[in-house]
Amino acid sequence: MRSTFGSPVLDAATRLLVPFMWLFAAYVLIHGHDSPGGGFQAGVILAASLILLRLVRGQGSRPNLSSRDAVTCACAGPLLYGGIGVASLLSGGNFLDYGVLPLPMDPVQVRVIGTLGIEAGVMVGVTGVLVLIFDVLAPWDDGTV
């Protein structure tokens, strides 16, 4: 593990901050249905925590996304979003009309779950893209990406 500009103070502060950043990202994602927030904002918070870990503890530190996983996440997000759209198409509705998904709940509750699903897709995609852009801009000695 290569410590980029780490120090014990930065390391301790990062260890303290990152779990709360993840918690806040989850809150912004889930509570985005009722309050300002949503997938884009949650993805940015999650990516900020991952980039903070990269800056302080080096790229190989764990837990973190590898560059390859970041590309996978960036592509999986739109795939999840479009997958929900196609699933509602196959369930007999219009594209992205996810109120018709065959889940054992109220139609309104199904809509809430569908909204959460596509917001989660947005979050995964935004996180992957931001980490990916950071990785291609930051030159690492081991020549990854």
Partner 1 sequence: MINRLIVLLFVPALAVLLQAAGDLPAVGDGTSPAFTHVSPYYLERAHDETGAPNFVTAVLADYRGYDTFGELTVILTAGLACLLILGTRDDPPAPQNRDRS
Binding site for partner 1 (CB under 8 A): 32-36, 38, 71, 74-75, 77-78, 81-82, 85, 95-96, 108-109, 111-112, 115, 118-119, 121-122, 125-126, 128-130, 132-133, 136-137, 142-143, 145
**Largest Cα–Cα distance of the chain, in whole Å?**
57
In the complex with partner 1, the residue whose CB is nearer, 12 or 136, is 136
Smallest gap from residue 144 Cβ to partner 1 (A): 8
In the complex with partner 1, the residue whose CB is nearer, 18 or 99, is 99
In the complex with partner 1, the residue whose CB is nearer, 17 or 44, is 44
Q: Which helix (H) or strand (E) holds 16?
A: helix 8-31
Q: Which two tokens stand for residue 76?
A: 């999986």
Cα 74 to Cα 128: distance, rounded to the nearest angstrom: 4
In the complex with partner 1, the residue whose CB is nearer, 17 or 133, is 133
- Phi, psi angle pair for 136, to nearest 5°: -80, -20
Q: Read off the DSSP letter of residue 91.
A: T
Cα 34 to Cα 8: distance, rounded to the nearest angstrom: 40
Smallest gap from residue 52 Cβ to partner 1 (A): 19
